[in-house]
Amino acid sequence: MGADFSGKFGENCGFSKRLDSCNDFADVFEVVKDGVEKVLGKSRAGLMLGLANLGGSSGYYIGAYYPIDSNIIVLNTFPLKRIMETGKELFKPYVFSVLLHEYLHSLDYLDEAHVRRLTYAVCARLFGKEHNASRLSYDISQFLPFLSYPEYGWFPKKEPDIKIVQGFDKGNLTYVS
């Protein structure tokens, strides 16, 4: 299945309003998945989200990582806390762009430079180039100057204390009555 470039995109396609109305990580992830499906025609289910303080220093920090061939995205709580302290308006766009980046890895886009470009392309297509999600994905260093992207296969040296977010991949939930 190929990419769907028909129909409305940018600020008029409703993705900006959907992101603004999100209440939690799971809501943001649903917007990520729908956006990737719309733009790239790809999807997968069954992912979990783990939150962990992966730390950082004055020279770098990791936003998130996806262990290759796994079903978990691990989001670093260190930058989330800083964003809430300094620029709450960036929280949802930041979470969107980081989850999108890692979701693309889970879809077998493994080349880091390609995933960065693709993350920006999807954001710009869904939100327009001036939306904070697009701007963050284009050059996060203008907002968060010490972000570091992990290399292919990166995993923390010390096993992090990961807290699993329940009900994260809502599209994968099934109910028994």
- Per residue in 27-44, pLDDT (tens digit) is 999 999 999 999 999 999
Range 128-137 average pLDDT: 95
Under a CB-based contact definition with an 8 Å cutoff, are residues 110 and 152 in contact? Answer: yes
| Contacting residues for 101 by C-beta, under 8 A, at least 6 apart | 63, 64, 115, 116, 119, 137
- Closest alpha carbon to 172 in 52, 29, 15: 29
Q: Which pLDDT band, with edges at 50, 70 and 90, does 156 fall under? A: low
Range 45-58 average pLDDT: 86
Q: Which pLDDT band, with edges at 50, 70 and 90, does 120 fall under? A: very high
Range 145-171 average pLDDT: 68
Q: What is the pTM of this model?
A: 0.82
Question: DSSP 3-state assignment of 101?
Answer: helix
